[in-house]
Structure formats: structure tokens, C-alpha cells
Amino acid sequence: MRGRRSVRAAGGPPPNRREFVAQVAVGGLSALGCGCSQQRLVDTREAGLAFEDREWTVGFSNASETNTWRTALREAIEEEVAKYPNVHLLITDANDSPAKQVSDMEDLLTKGVDGMIIGAANLYVANPILDECAKEGIPVVIVDRKVASEQYATFVSTDHTFGALRGLSRLVSLIGGRGKIAIIEGLPGAGPAVERNAGYDTVLGRHPQIEAVRQAGDWSRASGQRVMENIITAHPDLDGIHFDSGEMAVGGIQALRAAGITDEMMRDNRPCLTWLDGYNGGLKMIKAGLGKYTIIHPPRLHGALSVKSMIQIFRGESVPKRQPIELDEVTQENVDQFVAMDKPDDFWTR
């Protein structure tokens, strides 16, 4: 039996075909049918063999670990795979580069993975790889970030549009349905950001008395602080601020403090703060009264369910095309059910 592998796959010199596929993905073109040099057409059930009778290799192509949500996702995938002694794991980190992610996914295919879990850098990056996996009989689980193709076995994610609708609607309600707000959005082009921005558009369309300033970050604390510094300098009269992630919110609060906005002012909704996800540092801010609302977007549940779904596929069982994860809403009244005060800010409870 092979020893357990949980490594970041290093790629060799890419073939010319991969360079072409990378250009397609970066340019955001529709899926193309990629010719395969070798048609493996893997039958994951291998007639006559039970799941436990053979070894399996799963590749996880992570868009990045530039924010702690995606680190927690990778940790959850590693922890769940470790429960199966005959399943091995290869991990890549694209560092938010679509071109690198295409190369990463091609490398995973070259290494002979039996299934692939993909957290895509943008809507289009996985399309050619999904076509290739379909031709070779390799099942794919898409996690968190929507892709433009339907060539996958199952999609594990919360409803990003619904979360954005709920989050921004709560902010609008808290400030009385009128006023000036800022929305600090997620990484441009990434599936969750596209879906959430659609939700924000809908809310703003319903409330013409809301003036919104919108700028994008990348879901990291540093980007939240940087964007908030820019916004508060140009717009010191904000009634409310909505962040696309709790990690950005913590960075944004640092910027607000530096601009002379005290914790007491934030507790008094001057400005009112809301955000999305269950970043523990953000939950602590809600516990302290600085933030008023968030919706849990749980990376550990995403990771565990992705692996469980792949194991079901390996066993020859069916999985639903889409697997939405329940969204828990958090306020000061129920935050104690979610926050871990004895854990660091970067800890994710779910």
C-alpha cells in the first residue's frame, strides 16, 4: 500500500496544450472540448471491487490560501480524507491565479487522480478541465465557488446570492431604509463575489433612498483595511458599511479606528456594520457590539461534505447535483452559539 500523501503537487514543464487551455480560462471563454492524449475512461466503481478493496487518489485544486476561509477549507478536506486509510490526497494552491490553477489541475490529472475537488479561481477557469475529466471518467466535486460548466458530479456551497440579500437587507433595515453606505465586495470574477454582487444589486434596486459606494477587496484582512481606509477618507459621512467577509470587516474596523471612529460610535451605529461569514475575529466584534449581523459561511462543513460526496461516488452511490449548506444568521443575541472566545481570530468553528 502506498504511504499517505498530503502534499502540494509540484508541476513539471507544462505541455503546449496546457498553455492554450490556460489562455482560454484566463480570457473567460466558454468551455472547449480538449483532446486527451490518452483516453483512460476510469470506471470509479471498478466492477467487482468494493471501495475498500483498492486505493484511491483525490486531487484538491484550491484557488488560493490568501484568506483564512480557504485555509480552513483545505484543513477540513485533509481531516476528512484522513478517515479513509485507502484514500490519498494531492493538494495544489493557485494563489488566485487562473493560469496557475489550470496548470495545477493538469498536473493532478497527469498524476493519475481518481477524482478531483475544485475550488475555482473564477467562473471559467475549470471549464476545459471539466471537459477533460468527463472524457476520462474522472468525477469532480465543485466546492464553494460556482463554475460556468455543468460537467461535474456535485456542487457543494451555500447560497451566496441569498446570503448577500439577507446581509445587506439587514444593514438597510438597521439604518432605517435611507442613507449612505459602503459595500466592500469580494474578489472580482470569483464565483461567490459574482453571486453576492447580484444580491447586492437587487437590494439596492429595492431601496432608491440608499446611496452606495462600492469597492472590491479579496476577502483578506489586509484588503479590508486598505479599502476601508480609501473609502472613509473620501466618504466620512457613512451611515453603514457592509463587508463581504468577516476577515475584511476586522481589517475595516482597524481602519475606522485609525480614522477616529471609536468603538463606542460603532456600538451606537455610527456607522452601522454588517458582514458575511463566520470568521472568528468577526464574531468577536459582534460579541463586543461593534458589528450587528453576519451569516455563517462554514468552510469546515464545505470541506467535509466535499470529501464525503467523493467517497459516495467512489462507492458507486448517487449524489445530488447541488448540495446547498444551511445559512445560520448571527446577531448579538445568539453570537455565543458560534463564537470561540478562547480561540484566535483566524479560527473557524464550522
Share of the chain above pLDDT 90, in %: 83
Q: With CA atoms as reference, report the closest residue to 307 among 74, 110, 107.
A: 74
pLDDT in the model for residue 116? 98
pTM for the model: 0.82
Mean pLDDT of 223-234: 98
264 Cβ neighbours under 8 A, 6+ residues apart: none
Q: With CA atoms as reference, report the closest residue to 209 among 249, 246, 245, 181.
A: 181
| C-alpha span between 18 and 5 (Å, rounded) | 25
**Residue with C-alpha cell 489541475?**
105
Residue 262 phi, psi dihedral angles, 5° rounding: -80, 165
Digit-coded pLDDT (tens) for 112-148: 999 999 999 999 999 999 999 999 999 999 999 999 9
Digit-coded pLDDT (tens) for 4-56: 344 444 344 333 333 433 443 444 433 333 333 333 334 544 445 789 999 99
Confidence of residue 1 (pLDDT cuts 50, 70, 90): very low
The three three-digit cell numbers of residue 224, written as one number? 479590508
pLDDT in the model for residue 48? 55
